[in-house]
């Protein structure tokens, strides 16, 4: 089970995300990015964060540590933003926290280089979880201590929004032509050979066990939380075996427009040239 902490102070909202996550401090003296059950996307966004975060970490990818986070809405009473107050009031109880990476920078394909091996592992993982939110427009990648970190997996596993169509959705191809790492010549065959054998029944059972019961309760068509967990594990196991054969990766092309400020691009280019 994920460790559990209690939020003690709401610091500031992160307005880059559509779900309005916030930076909070907790009773373990840690600082976290908190995602709320009361956000518009609902609890399935948090379920996706847990499944993909724990699975990615188990496969050797860098994903911030996750915690169960208890929230007393009273901590938001001093927040002047009415939208934030409403979100906190709607999210009392159990939410999700992700380790805050202070000083991290948003990944920019023109400012940071990545080898084909690591690029291939990330693209393969995104194909496995059917991540539709890793384009150059919104990479959801951070660079921290000169290493690549994966964040924001709420827009994944689209099949869990309509379980009766899950089997058909799991078998669909993955279009990576607009993936932020497409221009780094991802080695998908090597990634599949390394990672697919790791996606075992035992690993998936461990991953889905971390989903809190209350986020799986009353799911239509299922007898209870354990049945829903089994459906997640089954879908991912089925997809892992052959998804690398269904990834569409465009021929190498110019990278998308840089999101980095000019000073960062000059600094990185100068550093690389020395």
On whether residue 217 sits in a domain, the answer given is yes
Task: Give me the number of domains the chain comprises.
Answer: 2
Residues 165, 35 share a domain? no
| Domain co-membership, 111 together with 222 | yes
Give the DSSP letter of residue 260: S
Same domain, 140 and 256: yes
Is 142 among the domain residues?
yes
Same domain for 112 and 242, yes or no, is yes
Question: Using CA atoms, how far apart are residues 37 and 73, in angstroms rounded to an integer?
Answer: 12
**74 and 135: one domain?**
no
Q: What integer pLDDT is reported at residue 46 of this predicted model?
A: 97
> In which band, very low, low, confident or very high, does the pLDDT at 81 lie, cut at 50, 70 and 90?
confident
> Does residue 115 register a pLDDT over 60?
yes
Report whether pLDDT(255) > 80. Answer: no
pLDDT of residue 261: 47
Tell how strand 141-144 and strand 147-150 pair up: antiparallel
- pLDDT, average across residues 149-171: 92
For residue 267, is it within any domain?
A: no
Across the chain, mean pLDDT equals 90
Choose one of 41, 71, 99: the last residue of a domain. 99
Last residue of a domain, one of 75, 99, 123: 99
Q: What is the domain range of residue 38?
A: 4-99
Domain boundary residue, one of 99, 121, 136: 99
Strands (E), 124-222: 141-144, 147-150, 174-175
At residue 256, the pLDDT reads 58
Considering the domain boundaries, does residue 269 fall inside one?
no
Closest CA to 122 of 103, 109, 104: 109
**How does pLDDT run across 203-249, given as a tens digit for each residue?**
999 999 999 999 999 999 999 999 999 999 999 999 999 999 999 98
**Which tops the pLDDT comparison, 17 or 168?**
168
The token pair at 130 is 């059917």
Beta bridge partners of 66: 98
129 and 228 share a domain? yes
Q: Is residue 272, in this structure, part of any structural domain at all?
A: no
The Cα-based distances of 243 to 127, 175, 205 in angstroms read 7, 11, 20
């Amino acid at each position: 089970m994920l460790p559990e902490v209690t939020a003690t102070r709401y610091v500031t909202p992160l307005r880059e995300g559509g779900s309005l996550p916030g930076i909070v401090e907790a009773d373990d003296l840690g600082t976290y990015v908190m995602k709320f059950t009361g956000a518009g996307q609902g609890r399935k966004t948090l379920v996706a964060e847990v499944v993909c975060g724990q699975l990615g970490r188990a496969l050797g990818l860098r994903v911030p540590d996750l915690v169960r986070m208890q929230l007393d809405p009273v901590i938001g009473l001093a927040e002047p933003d009415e939208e934030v107050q409403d979100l906190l009031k709607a999210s009392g109880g159990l939410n999700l926290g992700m380790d805050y990476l202070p000083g991290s920078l948003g990944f920019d394909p023109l400012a940071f280089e990545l080898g084909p091996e690591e690029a291939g592992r990330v693209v393969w993982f995104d194909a496995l979880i059917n991540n539709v939110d890793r384009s150059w427009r919104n990479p959801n990648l951070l660079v921290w201590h000169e290493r690549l970190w994966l964040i924001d997996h709420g827009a994944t596993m689209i099949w869990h929004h309509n379980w009766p169509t899950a089997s058909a959705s799991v078998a669909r191809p993955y279009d990576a032509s607009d993936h932020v790492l497409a221009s780094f010549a991802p080695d998908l065959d090597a990634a599949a050979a390394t990672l697919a054998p790791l996606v075992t029944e035992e690993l998936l059972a461990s991953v889905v066990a971390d989903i809190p019961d209350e986020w799986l309760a009353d799911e239509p068509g299922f007898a209870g939380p354990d049945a829903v967990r089994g459906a997640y594990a089954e879908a991912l196991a089925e997809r892992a075996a052959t998804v690398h054969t269904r990834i569409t990766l465009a021929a190498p092309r110019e990278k998308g427009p840089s999101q980095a400020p000019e000073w960062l691009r000059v600094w990185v280019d100068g550093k690389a040239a020395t």
